[in-house]
Each structure stands twice: as structure tokens, then as C-alpha cells.
Amino acid sequence: MKIINKLRLPEDIKKLNLNELEDLASDTSKLILERISKIGGHLASNLGIIEITLALHYVFNFPKDKVVFDVSHQCYSHKIFSGRVNEFSNHEEYKNASGFSAPYESDYDSFCIGHTSTSISLGLGLARGRDAQNENYNVISIIGDGSLSGGISFEALSNAGIYNKNFIIIVNDNEMSIAENHGSIYKNLELLRKTKGEAKENYFKLLGLDYKYIEEGNNIEVLIREFKKLKNIDHPIVVHIHTEKGHSYKYAVEQKEKWHYSPGFNIETGEFLASKGNYFGGVTRDFLIKKLNENKNMRIITAGTPLVIGFNHELREKYNDQFIDVGIAESHALAFATGLTKAGAKTYIGLNASFMQRGFDQFAHEIAINKLPLKILVYGSGIIKNNKTHQGIFDVAMLSNIPNLVYYAPTTEEELLNALELQFEDDKNPIAVRIPKGLEVHAKNYVYKNTFFEFNKYDVLGSDKEIVLIGVGDTYFEVEKAKELINQKLKRDYVIVNPKNITELDKEFLDSLNNKTKFVITVEDGIINGGYGQKVASYLSKYKIPTLILGVDNEFVDMDQVQNIYKKYNLSADELLKIVESLIK
Amino acid sequence: MKIINKLRLPEDIKKLNLNELEDLASDTSKLILERISKIGGHLASNLGIIEITLALHYVFNFPKDKVVFDVSHQCYSHKIFSGRVNEFSNHEEYKNASGFSAPYESDYDSFCIGHTSTSISLGLGLARGRDAQNENYNVISIIGDGSLSGGISFEALSNAGIYNKNFIIIVNDNEMSIAENHGSIYKNLELLRKTKGEAKENYFKLLGLDYKYIEEGNNIEVLIREFKKLKNIDHPIVVHIHTEKGHSYKYAVEQKEKWHYSPGFNIETGEFLASKGNYFGGVTRDFLIKKLNENKNMRIITAGTPLVIGFNHELREKYNDQFIDVGIAESHALAFATGLTKAGAKTYIGLNASFMQRGFDQFAHEIAINKLPLKILVYGSGIIKNNKTHQGIFDVAMLSNIPNLVYYAPTTEEELLNALELQFEDDKNPIAVRIPKGLEVHAKNYVYKNTFFEFNKYDVLGSDKEIVLIGVGDTYFEVEKAKELINQKLKRDYVIVNPKNITELDKEFLDSLNNKTKFVITVEDGIINGGYGQKVASYLSKYKIPTLILGVDNEFVDMDQVQNIYKKYNLSADELLKIVESLIK
């Protein structure tokens, strides 16, 4: 480190000369590289924006002035400059700074944010809130080119275009979304880059905004000079800055998509440390490829996250007509997919559970009311090792309460393939499949039954109905493990249930518990309210069978190891054993 | 009628000469005016688009060619031309054609749709589905200028701009949203109208789309001539057509906002028939005005529906700085309002429950995770006399399962004012208030308690806990009526409960039912799954108290009188009496 350890941050930044600023940028880059190489993170975007962030800290007066980072996965250097160096230099303290902006960490962070395209809305809100409070400061929103495909950013720009006070919108254009960009808006950005901002056709000017182009987006001197001119500007302006994603780390520059988000890696070689990956994601991808080959009218839609579905660059090239990435635009993706389905194409849409929240209205309206057999693949559902903004805990409460929509939560590879096959064949209902997470699993006692009817029946194991445990999706394995522990310790063969279809209750089975069952325990890895357990408890109410509902209890789930979170909410086998023990005492 | 009764529709349209077409348009206009004057509907938009629709039917071959109407509230003439004349000429048959496109009525309708800005996505989906099926037909999406502020339309245009086959996007520009348009995108539309489409700055061309401007949008001859050139076009094109909202009916032309949606009216005088209006909407508006006057830092946000909050043109002018209509852009509106709140402004957002579905991600993410005290007003929640696309039945399942978000469902005027006051004062939580619907109501036995603590306690009436009835929001009055009926008929003073805060259970009260209560009945006017009743039933499970949950049972609710829908789902007082009778037999 050349300089960073000698500085008090943020106070000292404004005192540095250019060489020192460059040293600080270089040190910052190293800290970020080091942290992500150890615990994973968004490398390429963070390396590309260090100079912009440093110039902002040099010119503006945070936290009086406000900055909003879109998605905020690129805020690492901002955290370092605003006094969180230890959280990036000391492995022990990594956990004290999340990978996203976090007001609970620092007043320098405006919002806890993890989804795209909202920074202009939030910034415009701050600006008009400032006006309402009769205050006086700069508001800066930073948005990546990849987020401009999201409709909210357009809604916000169109409103910023009729606003008339201080508001600075920095478009950080690194020519990339998570994968490549999609949509004609990117042709305009390309034209603007090529003409150094001079082209007459200008999306931002058309929307009534002042506009400035900066070509050297990784040059601190240039950025400081230009930002000084913008400080205290009396109207909204878009500052379009050309940066290099992955800047200063050659592997990231060469392979930007791979390095958008990385697990730990070897800095010297650029090799990712063994990442377990998602086994079931691979199973699903292979299923999809087989079906794509067999069905020329099949289409797969994604919204900016092709790798989530396992479609790397080569597969996207190969299935060019059949795999459609619409860019980051989840609402459009869902309505668009509805249209394809209506026209008769076998249509899939694959999204992360957390990003799917963008489409509640499309699920309820376009898809469910029209009851079209769109095939929905839900990735990253339930509890995952991720920030609270990326947890998938709302998927069941969101999807399973909408009429006409069917939601399957398979557990094993056999069940997953069964669910995918049923989904593929069905031409009557929109069906969502919750892709299991984690490692290869085959349920020991699983009997493969390839009929739709059976899929609506619970899989039931065990002979003693005194206590019944129902495990939704991935939590079923904890229930299965708990069954073994109970067998060993309590010598009881309590019944366990895998519901599979979580929009249905197997009423025949539940009816059979009448006068037999003392307790039912439901286990799920999502929010309890609106989830599956409450449906079971409500149904069993008439039989006076007490139902203990386990899941996430009315709070947001923070980043942790999945097993720790399971333990916290009593979803793990050990905790389930304890609960059963206490119930039969 | 000049001609319409002599025609077989749609077959005869292509045989008509220009005079006959104009007669047909005139007849159609009369039928629409007559129907809406009797049963209400979207008058002005329907009158403005008759000529476009007729020219489309003359030139294209529906239903082989496909047309998608945005929102679809302007599809009346399309319904008439495609063979549903009786449903518009015969009062008895009005009910057989909804006010929105409906595939279950006719193959000429592509989707059941009622929300804005999705027609381009759906149309692009149809087009790419057509390609996947190796078929050959025209796909036409019709979108109003007011819907172009919605981000999904931008997402779709940006994707249409990189598509290269037949797709015709008609922008029906009547210079109006529901109210006036908001956003800089409308300055570009204005420029395009002024220059007859010649301006270099062109939103659609910038997005890579071919473009044509038609000034005389109510001239059948011109439209037919131009549409003939477009038929079977081999690439996407935007056809920007200038029309007159309310065309041919002078009152609607003069007062476009008033006539966007009207109840029944007198055709001669343009006077609306006595419409009961929403009493509680007025109470809320008056509360807001008082607070606006007292608090200069207060802001009210809406997304294109100011009249829903009771802010007519005069009030909007008067509170120009404090009342912000962002145009139809619900997601932006919510994120923007979050920004204002963060900056310290007292910020309200008022939306219809059904349109709020556009913002699930903003509720869960920007608002709830950041736990900012945004004040949310929910109109048109629960069961209303409207199309299935506009029912508010998901509000409780959507909002009440998100951690940190508080949802109040007051019933009487006193409670509403109490809830609004608590919401106003609170600076810790996002609080939503469910505005009651219907006529003035003061609960007979209501005791006004102006403390936050009390608002989290159930209001309880009655002495006999053998049976307990819990009524959420507006259904509480049915419960109150049922209590009287039960008193009269069964001579029992069963306990009834008004929960008020529907994100909380009053556990102290519910605990008190242990060993006392035989049945609890919950009553709510929304979807059962994910609703309040399931929370009550789940909690009472441990006490083995059977809970009967009444509400909308896993289906979409169709247009009907509210009392009929209540009866269907056993929510009305008479049905509740019957249920109680059967329980105590």
C-alpha cells in the first residue's frame, strides 16, 4: 500500500495532490481485489468506478451532499473513501461492510439497495425532498449503462426532464450489463460514445436533460476538473462517463461477464476458487437444452441474467433464435413472454426470485388472469447466502397466492425433472418451478411417478401420524434428516411430507390426520406470512390439530451462511429434533 | 341508426364505401354514447379511436391478424366491429361484453387486460411467437400517449427497436393521460405533432424504430390509405396518430379529464347521473388539504390518477408545489416517494390497490428494507364493482406480508381519521392506510381512542366468546349487521372484532379465547390465501380453536354488484347468520 494507511478518511482526500490521489486509487483497487479474491463480490464494476468515486469525494461534500448508487454493488470504493477502510483491509472485519450501500453502516450511504434502475427515482426524490425542506446540497445519482434498459430509469428520466433544480445523474457507461447489453437504447449510447457525446440523436437531451460527455472516465484529473464545473449546478444534468469495467485487473478487463460477480479467486492466475455452483441449475439447463433441440418453437426468455439459467456466451450464440435476453427489464420480460405463449410458442422465463418481485403485476394480471401456460423457472428462491436485498424469501408468498398460477417446489433431481416435464407438457396453466439449490440430491426413498395427478399428492414417509413434519422445497432434506435423528433418539417413526405442489393442499392426506395427529410442523425457507405453512394450519384448523409454522418470522434476512439462518429460524434438523422432543414431553 | 343494423359484422366492413364507413362510425359512436350514458364506462377514449379501429378492420384480417389494445378500455368499437353489436345496442345484453378486451368473449380479443403500458410487450411477444410458429400475420399494438410514461412501454420499445420483422405499433396520441400528461417524453410528442412528425428529435426513431405520423387521426379515408401501406410491412414501425379524445361528443371534447371515466349521464346535458362517490375519499382529501396547509414540507405523490385522491384540476393548481403527479409510472412513483421521505419531507403516495401491484418490489425493497416513514394511501382495495383486472383483492396478501410495513384497515370515519393522524405523526415505519369504500359510516359503538398503542388492539364488542367474528375493513359492517341478526334470531351476544391494524394480531385478545371459544370466523374482502384470516387461524391453531376463513377463494372476481360478490363468498350479514346458525346446531 502506498498511501491509504497514512490517511484519515474521508477528511484527508481533499488535501491530496494528483499523484497522491492516484496512489489512493491504486491502493483502493488492491484492497478491493484482495477482499473479493477472499470472499467473493462484484469485482469488475467496482474496479471500473474507483476514479469517479474518488473525484466525487474530492469535489463534493459528503454526507451533506448525497450520492445514490444504482444497485449499489459498485460502492466498495465509496465505502473505503468514507471511512470504512478496515472493513476492506482486515479480513476479520470484512463482514462489517456489506457489498451494497447500507445506511446502518454509515451516513454516507443513502439507501439499502440491491436491485437495478431505481437510483434516478431515489435521487430525484432526495432532490425534491431537499427542496421541500428548504435545504441546499447536491444530489448525485450514479447509474450504470446496463440499468438504463430498466423501465423505472426511463420513468425517472422523463420526470427529471421537467425538474429545474440541482440534480446530477452520472451514467457510468462501461459498455456492459451483467452480460452484454440488449435493446436499441444501447445503440444510442454507442453512437454517443463514438461521437464523444456530439451526436444529435441523444436519449437524454430528447428527454429534456442537459448533457455532458466525459471520455476519460478512469482519469482522476479529468474527472475532478469536470466535476468542479458541475458542483452546485442549478438544474438536472446527465454526465455520461465512459469507463472500463474491470479497470486495472487484466483478467476482469478481458472477461467482463465472468468477472461481474466472482467467488473467491487466485489474484495471480485469475482462477476462481472451487465454487460448488448450483447442481440443480445445471440439471435444469441440460433439460432445457434437450427440449430446445427437440422443439424449434421453444423460447427461453431472461432479463439480463442468462448465467442464472446456465446459458453462457457459447450457448447463447448456439441458441441465438431460441434464447432471448431482453436486458434488465423484468416487467417487460414477463409480459413479452405472455405474448409468445399466447401465439403458441413453448415459452420459458427464468428469473431470480428476488428480481421477480418486479413482475408481481404481470404475474397477477397478464399471466394468471389470462391463464396462459407460460413456464416460469424460479432461481435463488428462499434463503440463500446473500444480502437482504437478494434473499428469495418472498417467492412463495408472492406466487402461490395468485389464482390460476401453479407453483411446484421439487426437492430431488428426480422430482425436479418430473416437475420440469409436467411443466413442459402442460398447456392449460402458468406453472412455476422452484429450482432447488445446493448439491446433488436424490431422496433415498423417492419413487418416481411421472403423472400430473401424483404430483398433486403429498409424498409421505413414515408410519406414526402422531406428529407430522411437512418440508417445503430445500427444507425437506432437513425434515428427512430430522426423521432419522428422531428415529435414532426417540425411536418413533413420525410421518414426514414432501408437498411438491405448493399451490395445493393434499386434502385427502390432511383429512386422514383427523383424530390421529397431535402436532403438525411445517418447515419452509421463506417468509411465514402468506406462505405454505399458514395454508396448512388454516386447513387443519377444523380438525383442531395444532400446527407449528417454521420459516422466516416477519423480518428481512441478513447475509449469513445458509445453515446459520436455518438454525436461527429452527429449520435445521437438529432444531427440529429439539422441537419434537419438547412437543412429546 | 343509419346502417349498423343492416350489416353482418365483421364480414361486411370490407364491402363498404367511404360514406357507408362514415355512417358506421357515426352509428358506433351513438351506441357507445348510449351504453355509457346508461351503465358508465370510458367515454372519451372510446369516442376518439373509432375511426382508427374501423380503418384497421377494413384493412387487416382479424382475427388472423392480431391487435392488442393497451389497457383495452378503448376497445368498445373493436367489440362492435368484431360482431358484438347486440352487447352495445341492447341494454339487456350490455353485461355480456365487458369494458375491456376479453378473449373469452371473442377470438378477436387477444388478452384480458386492464392495466397500462404493456401492449407493446404483449404485441412483440405475439410477433416473436408467430415467428417461432413459422406463421405469417400482422401484429398491431395500440398504445395511448398517456401510457408511454410507463416504463414497461420503454422496455418494450427498446426491444422492438432491435427486432426485424412485422410489428405495427400505433401510438394513439390524444394529448391526454387520464388527467394531463406529465414527463418530458410529452414534450417530444408535442414537438412531433407540431412538426407533423418531421422533427429530428424523435423518441421512436432514436430507439431504432421506423416512424410515420398521421395528423388526421379521425379521418377514415386517410387512415385506410395509410394503413394499406403498412399491411404486411416487414419490420417494426411506430405509427403516430393524432386523435381527438372525446371526438364527436362536445362535452367530452371540452372536459377530457372529467369524461375519461364517467358514470351514467344525460346525453343531452352532459350531466352525470347521481353518483354516490366515495365518502371516505372525500374525508381523506379534506384531511390531506388541512395537513398540506399546515406543513409546507408535505408532498403528495400520485401516478396518473389525481382524482383518485380527490385532487381535481383546481386543487392541483392550488397545491402545485406540494402535489406531484409523476404520470402513469407507479414503480417510479414509489421509489421517488421513498427518496422524498429519506430527505425529510412528509410524503404521501396515493394509488389504487390494483395499480399498486406494479410496485411490489419497491414496497419490499426501497420502502420496507429501508424502513422509511412513507405514508401510503390505498384506494379501491378489496372487492369493488369493477372488472377482474381492477379488483383490489390482492392488497392485503401483497402489503401485509412484507416485514416493517404497517397496514391499517379503518372502518368508520372516526377510525379513518385516527389512522390518518397516526400515519401522519409516525416517523419510524412505512404505514399504509386502506381507505374505506362506500357511504358515510360511523360505528354505533365506536369509542375514539387516539393512541398508537390502542390502534394495535382489537376493538371488541359483545359478551359471549363462544363464537367470535372478525371483520377486516369494510366487511366489519357486515359483521356488525350479522351481530344484530344473531341477537334477534338466536338471542346470543357473540363477540365481534374490528382488527384495524391488519399487520398485527392482538395476541392478548386471541389468547383470551383459549378454552372459551368454539369457533372463530374471519371475514375479509380480499383473497383468502395470504390474507388476514390465515394469520388468525394459524395463531389460534395452538389453542385448537377452529377458524373459518371467509374471503375470495382462490379465483379472480368478475364484475358484479359488490353485494352480489359479498353474498357469493358468504361475506354478507345474511350469509354470516346462516353460517353461525349451522355452527351452533
| Contact pairs from chain A to chain B, CB under 8 Å | 393
Residue B418 lies in a domain: yes
Interface test with B, best of A124, A201, A332, A338 (most B CBs within 10 A): A332
What is residue B442's predicted lDDT score, i.e. its pLDDT?
74
CB contact under 8 A, A332 and B159: yes
For residues B361 and B464, membership in a common domain is answered with: no
What is residue A243's predicted lDDT score, i.e. its pLDDT?
97
Grid cell for residue B192 = 412531433
β-pairing, A494-498 vs A459-461, is antiparallel
For residues A396 and A328, membership in a common domain is answered with: yes
Is pLDDT above 90 for B178?
no
Q: How far does the CA of residue A565 sit from the closest CA of chain B (Å)?
A: 17
Residue A270 lies in a domain: no
CA–CA dist A242, A220 (Å, integer): 13
For residues A10 and A132, membership in a common domain is answered with: yes
Is pLDDT above 60 for B472?
yes
- The share of chain A scoring above pLDDT 70, in percent, equals 98
Chain B residues close to A556, C-beta within 8 Å:
368-369, 403-404
For residues B319 and B192, membership in a common domain is answered with: no
CB contact under 8 A, B339 and A126: yes
For residues B424 and B469, membership in a common domain is answered with: no
Q: How far does the CA of residue B117 sit from the closest CA of chain A (Å)?
A: 10
Is pLDDT above 60 for B159?
yes
Measured at the CA of B282, the angle between CA B276 and CA B287, to 5 degrees, comes to 165
Task: State the total domains in chain B.
Answer: 3
Q: How far does the CA of residue A541 sit from the closest CA of chain B (Å)?
A: 5
Grid cell for residue A357 = 418481485
The backbone torsions φ and ψ at residue B461, rounded to the nearest 5 degrees and listed phi first, read: -130, 140
Chain B residues close to A329, C-beta within 8 Å:
152, 155, 158-159
For residues B127 and B215, membership in a common domain is answered with: yes
Query: How distant is the alpha carbon of residue A227 from its chain centre?
Result: 32
Measured at the CA of A170, the angle between CA A166 and CA A172, to 5 degrees, comes to 180
Residue A258 lies in a domain: no
Q: Of the candidates B154, B336, B556, which has its C-beta nearest A154's C-beta?
A: B154
Q: What CATH number has the domain bearing residue A156?
A: 3.40.50.970
Which of B172-186, B200-214, B435-449, B534-548 is the least confident region?
B435-449
Q: How far does the CA of residue B27 sit from the closest CA of chain A (Å)?
A: 32
β-pairing, B167-173 vs B139-144, is parallel
Band the pLDDT of B447: cuts 50, 70, 90. Answer: low
Is pLDDT above 70 for A447?
no
DSSP one-letter code for A272: B
Grid cell for residue A97 = 461492510
Residue B540 lies in a domain: yes
Among the candidates B221, B254, B287, a domain finishes at B254
Residue A79 lies in a domain: yes
For residues A408 and A482, membership in a common domain is answered with: no
The answer for residues whose C-beta is within 8 angstroms of residue B254's C-beta and 6 or more apart is: B246
Q: Of the candidates A122, A326, A345, which has its C-beta nearest B366's C-beta?
A: A122
Interface test with A, best of B401, B429, B513 (most A CBs within 10 A): B401
For residues A417 and A489, membership in a common domain is answered with: no
Band the pLDDT of A110: cuts 50, 70, 90. Answer: very high
Compute the average pLDDT of residues B530-548.
98
CA–CA dist B454, B347 (Å, integer): 24
Interface test with B, best of A67, A187, A206 (most B CBs within 10 A): A206
Chain B residues close to A136, C-beta within 8 Å:
none
| Start-end of H helices in B207-312 | 220-230, 250-254, 279-294
Grid cell for residue B368 = 420496507
Its domain, for residue B361, covers 279-434
CB contact under 8 A, A402 and B394: yes
Largest CA distance in chain B: 80
Q: Select from A542, A553, A549, A534 the least CA-distant residue to A511.
A: A542
Chain A residues close to B327, C-beta within 8 Å:
155, 158-159
Residue B443 lies in a domain: no
Is pLDDT above 60 for A451?
no
Give the amino acid at B52: I
Q: Look up cell 426524490; give the residue.
A: A125
Q: Give the chain A residue nearest B206 (alpha carbons).
A: A201
For residues A53 and A129, membership in a common domain is answered with: yes
β-pairing, B346-352 vs B519-527, is unpaired
CB contact under 8 A, B329 and A158: yes
Band the pLDDT of A452: cuts 50, 70, 90. Answer: very low
Q: Give the chain A residue nearest B359 (alpha carbons).
A: A358
DSSP one-letter code for B92: G
Q: How far does the CA of residue B266 sit from the closest CA of chain A (Å)?
A: 34
Give the amino acid at B15: K
What is residue B444's predicted lDDT score, i.e. its pLDDT?
61
Grid cell for residue B220 = 377514415
Q: Of the candidates A127, A397, A540, which has its C-beta nearest B530's C-beta?
A: A397
DSSP one-letter code for A382: B
What is residue A176's predicted lDDT score, i.e. its pLDDT?
83
The dihedral over CA atoms of A484, A490, A492, A496, expressed in degrees to the nearest 10, equals -40
Interface test with A, best of B109, B361, B407, B579 (most A CBs within 10 A): B361
Backbone CA torsion sign across A254, A270, A79, A57: negative
- List, for residues A120-133, the tens digit of each pLDDT value: 999 999 999 999 99
CB contact under 8 A, B401 and A336: no
Q: Of the candidates B103, B160, B208, which has its C-beta nearest A187's C-beta?
A: B208
CB contact under 8 A, B152 and A369: no
CB contact under 8 A, A206 and B209: no
- List, for residues A285-309, the tens digit of each pLDDT value: 999 999 999 999 999 999 999 999 9
Say if CB A567 and CB A547 are below 8 A apart.
Answer: no
Q: What share of chain B is helix, strand, coil (3-state, %, to 5)?
A: 45, 15, 40
Residue A260 lies in a domain: no
Extract long-range pairs of B233-236: CB within 8 Å, 24+ residues apart: B233/B138, B233/B166, B233/B168, B234/B165, B234/B166, B235/B163, B235/B164, B235/B165, B235/B166, B235/B167, B235/B210, B236/B160, B236/B161, B236/B163, B236/B164, B236/B165, B236/B166, B236/B167, B236/B168, B236/B169, B236/B209, B236/B210
Interface test with A, best of B136, B541, B557 (most A CBs within 10 A): B541
For residues A428 and A287, membership in a common domain is answered with: yes
Say if CB B493 and CB B463 are below 8 A apart.
Answer: yes
Band the pLDDT of B453: cuts 50, 70, 90. Answer: very low
What is residue B443's predicted lDDT score, i.e. its pLDDT?
66
- List, for residues B302-329, the tens digit of each pLDDT value: 999 999 999 999 999 999 999 999 999 9
Grid cell for residue A336 = 413479452
Q: Of the candidates A123, A343, A388, which has its C-beta nearest B133's C-beta?
A: A343
Measured at the CA of A353, the angle between CA A348 and CA A355, to 5 degrees, comes to 90
Chain A residues close to B162, C-beta within 8 Å:
182-184, 187
Is pLDDT above 90 for A552?
yes
Q: Give the chain B residue nearest A365 (alpha carbons).
A: B389
Compute the average pLDDT of residues A458-473.
95
Q: Look up cell 414503480; give the residue.
A: B331
Q: What CATH number has the domain bearing residue A479?
A: 3.40.50.920
Q: Give the chain B residue nearest A115 (alpha carbons).
A: B365
- The share of chain A scoring above pLDDT 90, in percent, equals 91
Residue B274 lies in a domain: no
For residues A311 and A409, membership in a common domain is answered with: yes
For residues B245 and B293, membership in a common domain is answered with: no
What is residue A440's predicted lDDT score, i.e. its pLDDT?
75
Compute the average pLDDT of residues A362-376.
98
Compute the average pLDDT of residues B358-385.
97
Strand order in the sheet with B547-552: B459-461, B494-498, B464-471, B519-527, B547-552
Q: How far does the CA of residue B49 sit from the closest CA of chain A (Å)?
A: 23
Q: Look up cell 403500458; give the residue.
A: B117
CA–CA dist B522, B534 (Å, integer): 9
Among the candidates A232, A250, A268, a domain finishes at A250
β-pairing, A431-434 vs A66-69, is unpaired
Interface predicted TM-score of the whole assembly (ipTM), two decimals = 0.97
Compute the average pLDDT of residues B421-446.
86
